[in-house]
Structure 1
Amino acid sequence: METAHIYIYGEIGWIQDKNSSEYGIVTLSDVKRQYDAQKDCKDVKVHIHTIGGVVWEGFAIHDFLRSLGKPITTVIEGVCYSIGTVISLAGDTRIMTSNSEFMIHMPWGMVSGESADIQKYADSLKKDEHKAADFYAAKTKITKEEALELMKVETFMTPEETLEKGFITEIAIAMRAVAKYKPKSSKMSKKDDNKKKVNGLMKSIEGAFNKFFGNDGAPQLKMVVDANGVEIDFTELEEDDTPAVGDKATIDGAAAEGEHVMPSGETYVFAAGSLTEIKPADEGGDDSEEMQQLQTENAQLKKDLAAEKKAHKALQKANKKLESDTAATKKMVETMQADFKKLKKSIGSDFDTDPKNRKDPEKTTKSRKVFKDKE
């Protein structure tokens, strides 16, 4: 075996339980077990994604890795916070992926008891602060004083900032462009094939939902209501369009005919389903503000009533469709469930918890993601 891969994915804990990794806890014992399963290796690569944890356990893991006497490469693949930064500095080569984040801060904790107990704990924390600052100064390009200042304000760093300060030696590019093109090749990679299958399944599911809810993607047609509450449908206009002479219209499914006074006072004149004229509002009528207000309110009430009638009809139609399509709906749901199962199978994780079978993420196109919120 050329390279052993050790994964520090989770919080750094101190209880040496062989099952701790199942709960997202990484300990010295866990790291040692991973190494022992690959100890015939020539070098070691440590993959790190951790929010930190117990101080002394982090230093213990660092010291164990350095004691192996083999070239160590640490790779930050997500976040590297708190005591996790100490572990990352165990590497002779220290890599950080371009979307990762680095953070250092002051050690902290809680204690209860008498004043002497609290003071003793505070003194212990102060020692840990200086221990960490001395450690950073010895391993990076910053001084102890600079380290303490960064720790005091809980400093988060980008890969570029982390590299500048010497915490890492290089930044890994997440994706590289490859100058290779084979237009005659009809073969598809497993990743592309899975992507095609997933897209097909999603379209199938989307189509089923659209069919069930009666949404076929068609644009909403323009509908206006005249002063008497008559609905006029303009079959060639969309909802935001303004009717003009020459536009086609129907009333209750039949070609629109005659004159229709609109709430604005304009008169639409139709002949054989075509809008032939728009007469302006009659300005010679009653100029009473009260009368105009009543006319406006009346027109609005009629418009609201027409909308309510339309909604009621749509609801009745949907109810009838729902009652008549029970069997079809059941079959559709079963199809969607089958599609979801296929989808789940297609995008399932290929991560193997056995260290012997784990692959180097830099040599495979598949990805491994483990995320945990910042604390």
Structure 2
Amino acid sequence: MTGNIYISGQIGTFDGVTGISLADVISQVKKQPKATAYNVHINSEGGLVDTGFDIYHYLCSLGKPLTTIGSGIVASIATVIFMAGKKRLIKENTQFMIHLPWGGSMGTADELEQFAGQLRVIEKKMVGFYKKVLSVQEQAIVPLLKNETWLTPNQLSALGFTTASQPVKAVAKAFINPNFTMRGTFTERDRHWMESLFTRVMGKFKNAHIFNKVVQDATGIEIDFTDLPDDAIIEVGAMATVDGMPAEGEYLMPDGYTYIFTAGELTEIIEPEEESAPAALRAENKALKRQLSIIKSEVMALKRQVGSRYTLDGKKASVRKPGESDRLSGMKQYLQNKNRK
């Protein structure tokens, strides 16, 4: 069985924005205990260096065949996670960018010098990593990192980032959420390259169908079936996200159906319990059940009375309540008549 791990969006949590963490990746792995290999799907603009390396080392420690698949965008520290795969593929139109680590700081000259020193340590770590996994000299990789290079599929293959010379072809589709607002502290340079990226990517989708079927569960949670047209029927096998992450667990729908997801895939649809009998018949059935319960209680009470009619030597006592025998006989006849109906 090949499991699926999804790394989507920001790596790590910062500037008040919650991103994917090492714990999130571990949780996905634990939910697929029978997996003998994993496909790691990456669609991320990057994030915190330490978190990225933590995820990379964890994936490598699994000791199972890994295939990393880039889609949408693989940039910054996400490219490090991408290198965890023995087999590394990108889908068509995927944007792939490497650069040196950067950040911002405020303070005195001494404090800024201290920050610069810390940044150079991280920079050295990044350069050393690329040198090792790509088997290239420092002089070959540093200029690319300094220039924030966007690499083409041919360049990715030539440098060793990918193990296939051609990107994986897929049906062009896009999900546009009009309510999405980019959050965080971005410089004008960041905004420029993100906007230019969006323009380039969407330019390739001019003639593509944009699929997005969104439904709400009974509590109002939105489930996005991004591969389905709005008028499509939801069936087992459909992929969905909730709040940008692969859907997971059970969701009770307003019509009574229950959707069960595993790693973003709809694995089961449980139908609601149907009350096929007419309302009048159901009411009569409940009344009969109540009567039967009362009768059973009376029978048990009589049995206890009869069972207590013993003397110390084990013989039945001769004491009997008036009409007791007639009552038992009549109760037995009543139950027989009920069973014939």
Q: TM-score, normalised by structure 2?
A: 0.51
Structure 1 residue 359 displacement after superposition: 5.0
SS in 2 for 1:174: coil
User: 1:346 maps to which residue?
Assistant: 232
Query: How many matched pairs?
Result: 189
Q: 1:347: Cα distance to partner?
A: 8.8
Deviation at 1:34, TM superposition (A): 0.9
**Equivalent residue, structure 2, for 1:213:** none
Between the aligned partners of 2:169 and 2:19, the Cα distance in structure 1 is: 27
Cα contact 1:133–1:147 (8 A) shared by 2: yes
1:153 aligns with 2:39: no
Task: Give the equivalent residue in structure 2 for 1:7.
Answer: 6
Residue 264 (structure 2) pairs with residue 358 (structure 1): yes
- Matches of 1:159 and 1:347 in 2, distance apart? 36
Aligned to 2:79: 85
Structure 2 counterpart SS, 1:77: strand
Give CA deviations for 1:30-59 in whole Å, capped at 9, x if unaligned: 111111111321011100010000111000
| Cα distance, 1:104–1:357 mapped onto 2, change above 3 Å | closer
Contact 1:14 1:57 (C-alpha < 8 Å) held by counterparts:
no
RMSD value, Cα? 2.8
The equivalent position to 2:101 in structure 1, one of 99, 107, 114, is 107
- Work out whether residues 162 and 168 of structure 1, in 8 Å CA contact, stay in contact via their aligned partners in 2: yes
Contact 2:60 2:84 in 1 (8 A): yes
| Kept after mapping to 2: 8 A contact 1:8/1:47 | yes
Q: 1:173 aligns with which of 168, 174, 194?
A: 168
Deviates more, 1:347-356 or 1:2-11: 347-356
The 1:347–1:147 alpha-carbon spacing in structure 2 relative to 1, beyond 3 Å, is: farther
1:97-134 CA deviation, whole Å, 9 max, x = no partner? Answer: 12212101111111122222111110111111111111
Are residues 175 and 108 of structure 1, via their aligned partners in 2, closer, same or farther at CA, if it must alter by over 3 Å?
A: closer
Counterpart in 1 of 2:69?
75
Asked whether the 8 Å contact 2:97–2:151 carries over to 1, the reply is yes
User: Cα gap change, 1:11/1:121 in structure 2, threshold over 3 Å: closer, same or farther?
Assistant: same
Please list every run of 5 or more consecutive structure 1 residues that lacks an aligned counterpart in the other structure.
Answer: 177-197, 199-342, 361-375
DSSP-derived class of the 1:147 partner: helix
Cα gap change, 1:85 to 1:45, in 2 (>3 Å): same
Deviations 1:261-282 (A, max 9, x none): xxxxxxxxxxxxxxxxxxxxxx
Corresponding residue SS for 1:44: strand
Query: 1:331-350: CA deviations, max 9, x gaps?
Result: xxxxxxxxxxxx73439884
Q: Distance in 2 between matches of 1:24 and 1:7?
A: 16
Normalising to structure 1: TM-score of the pair? Answer: 0.47
Per-residue deviation, 1:142: 2.8
Kindly provide the amino acid, as one letter, of the partner of residue 144 in structure 2: L
Mapping 1:115-154, distance limit 5 Å? 115-154=109-148
Task: Kindly state the Cα deviation for residue 141 of structure 1 after the two structures are TM-superposed.
Answer: 4.3
Larger RCO (alpha carbons 8 Å, 6+ apart): 1
Q: How far apart in 2 are the matches of 1:344 and 1:53? A: 33
**Equivalent pair of 1:59/1:86 in contact (CA under 8 Å):** yes
For structure 2, list consecutive stretches of 5 or more residues without a partner in the other structure. Answer: 172-208, 210-228, 242-246, 249-260, 267-341
Distance 1:117 1:173, change over 3 A: same
> C-alpha separation between the residues in 2 aligned to 1:153 and 1:46?
28
